[in-house]
Amino acid sequence: MTSPYGEVTSPSDGNVDPIAVSSSCHGGDRSGFRSGFVAVVGRTGVGKSTLVNAMVGRKVSITSSRSGTTRARLQGVINGEGYQVVLVDTPGFHKPHNLLGERQNAAAAGSVSSVDVVLVVVDASREIGPGDRFAASTARGAAKSFVVVNKVDRVARHRLLPKLLAASRLLVGAGDGADGAECFPVSARSGAGIAELVGSLVGFLPEGPRYYPDGIMSDVPEVAWTAEIVREQVLARVGDELPHSVACRIVDWDWPRVRCEILVERESQKPIVIGAGGKRLKAIGEAARGQLAPGAYLELVVKVERNWQKRPEILSRLGY
Ligand SMILES: Nc1nc2c(ncn2[C@@H]2O[C@H](COP(=O)(O)OP(=O)(O)OP(=O)(O)O)[C@@H](O)[C@H]2O)c(=O)[nH]1
Ligand SMILES: [Mg+2]
């Protein structure tokens, strides 16, 4: 299958856990090429996906100001001279209110065990809280972990130093190599500090193979990516109460004709997505189409799927 980034040949093909693959592949290769897997964890909204996009240099994960935007793990690939870093973006840690939330937390927690490095991301513009401490605690078993203090563009310089000190303490005692944790101030939005972060990461990766061929920057298949782009545009246009209730799935793919269902949980939510005279739905479609391959004909349908967040079979079909 093709994605916006080319032919998708994910190491996850064949039902092999892509993260489990990482540790087993390191053994034999001693070519001098460095590679490895880096999990990006943190509480919801700290900017993990924006950071992954900035590091990859391309949008591979949708972002929004709403909490709980990333719902499933995905991989983004950084290719450089003599190295390849596979970033694992994860759902943000939060107090779960339903099965979807439980699965999101489990996906994030499960991502740290067999990667080479864990990045614990915190938001410089907010106080470090229990969610950050929980995220840091999941990194305890990791081979190596760093704290990334994101959104430094939102903090005055003189306030940054105490933030960095507090953040660096998050990983103290967290296990191998985590004492006096290295702390990276970055702005995923402006790009400040991103090159330094990538450069440091590469130094901690073992020698290993190229997991993804050149030109592949994500493991998200084109169909799933299209549904994600539509969901991103819905999130950007609905009020605070709705984002958690919305899911998107492609039900017909006959390129360039693509039919996407926008699921909501209750009948009363349909008009919110559709908007007066269908205006909001039209805007969602236009903005989504602008990010797809040229010529796409995107048909959007809003449908009620009652309590889908609590139904295991629907969650699994949605890839959550
Ligand atoms: N000012 C500023 N905003 C940022 C920065 N990084 C991310 N944001 C904003 O923070 C919000 C959340 O960003 P995401 O990347 O979706 O956050 P996330 O941690 O992936 O969130 P979840 O997937 O819900 O866990 C968005 O509105 C981003 O534009 C940054 O460096 N500076
Ligand atoms: Mg995210």
The vertex-308 CA angle with 267 and 64, nearest 5°, equals 85
DSSP letters of 229-268? HHHHHHHTTS-TTSGGG-EEEEEEEETTEEEEEEEESSGG
Express each pLDDT in 3-58 by its tens digit: 332 332 333 333 333 333 333 333 444 579 999 999 999 999 999 999 999 999 99
Contacts of residue 108, Cβ cutoff 8 Å, sequence gap at least 6 = 41, 73, 90, 91, 92, 93, 138
pLDDT for the residue 21: 37
| pTM for the model | 0.90
Q: Does 81 have pLDDT greater than 70?
A: yes
Is 71 near ligand 1, meaning CB less than 6 Å away? no
Q: Which H or E run contains 29?
A: none
pLDDT for the residue 239: 81
E-strand stretches of the chain: 2-3, 6-7, 34-41, 74-80, 83-89, 117-123, 145-150, 183-185, 247-254, 257-264, 297-304
Is residue 49 within 8 A of residue 89, CB to CB? The reply is yes
Express each pLDDT in 120-165 by its tens digit: 999 999 999 999 999 999 998 788 999 999 999 999 999 999 999 9
Ligand nearest to the CA of 92: 1
Is residue 72 within 8 A of residue 23, CB to CB? The reply is no
Share of the chain above pLDDT 70, in %: 88
pLDDT for the residue 240: 79
Q: Does 215 have pLDDT greater than 50?
A: yes
Is residue 116 within 8 A of residue 142, CB to CB? The reply is no
pLDDT for the residue 141: 79
Is residue 259 within 8 A of residue 299, CB to CB? The reply is yes
Instruction: Pick the residue whose CA is nearest to atom 10 on ligand 1.
Output: 47
Query: Among 165-169, 206-210, 238-242, which is the least confidently predicted range?
Result: 238-242
Is residue 263 within 8 A of residue 305, CB to CB? The reply is yes
Q: What is the mean pLDDT of the chain?
A: 88
Tell which atom from ligand 1 comes closest to the C-alpha of 53.
Answer: 15
pLDDT for the residue 241: 72
| C-alpha of residue 243 to centroid of ligand 2, in Å | 13
pLDDT for the residue 180: 54
Q: Does 249 have pLDDT greater than 50?
A: yes
Residue of 13 and 91 predicted with greater confidence: 91
| C-alpha of residue 141 to centroid of ligand 1, in Å | 26
Taking the C-alpha atoms of residue 87 and residue 36, their distance in angstroms, rounded to an integer, is 9
Is 92 near ligand 1, meaning CB less than 6 Å away? yes
| C-alpha of residue 28 to centroid of ligand 2, in Å | 34
Is 151 near ligand 1, meaning CB less than 6 Å away? yes
- CA 221, 225, 226, 231 dihedral sign is positive
The vertex-273 CA angle with 267 and 279, nearest 5°, equals 130
pLDDT bucket at 174, cuts 50 / 70 / 90: low
Q: Does 59 have pLDDT greater than 70?
A: yes
Domains of the chain: 2-203 (3.40.50.300), 222-318 (3.30.300.20)
pLDDT for the residue 30: 52
Query: Among 12-21, 125-134, 281-290, 302-311, which is the least confidently predicted range?
Result: 12-21
From the list 286, 65, 43, the residue with the least C-alpha distance to 189 is 65
Q: Does 207 have pLDDT greater than 90?
A: yes
| C-alpha of residue 63 to centroid of ligand 1, in Å | 6
Number of H helices, E strands in the chain: 10, 11
Q: Does 2 have pLDDT greater than 50?
A: no
Tell which atom from ligand 1 comes closest to the C-alpha of 93.
Answer: 25
